[in-house]
Amino acid sequence: MILEVADIRIHAGQQAAFEAAIHRGLAEVIAQARGFITASVQHGIESPERYLLQIEWQTLEDHTEHFRGGPLFPQWRALVGPFFAEPPKVEHFALLG
Per-domain boundaries in the chain: 2-80
C-alpha triplet 95, 77, 67: angle, nearest 5°: 45
**Which DSSP helix (H) or strand (E) runs through 52?**
strand 50-57
Strand order in the sheet with 50-57: 36-43, 50-57, 2-9, 89-94
- pLDDT tens string 26-38: 999 999 999 999 9
- pLDDT tens string 66-95: 999 999 999 999 999 999 999 999 999 999
**Whether pTM exceeds 0.85:** yes
> What CATH number should be reported for the domain whose range is 2-80?
3.30.70.100
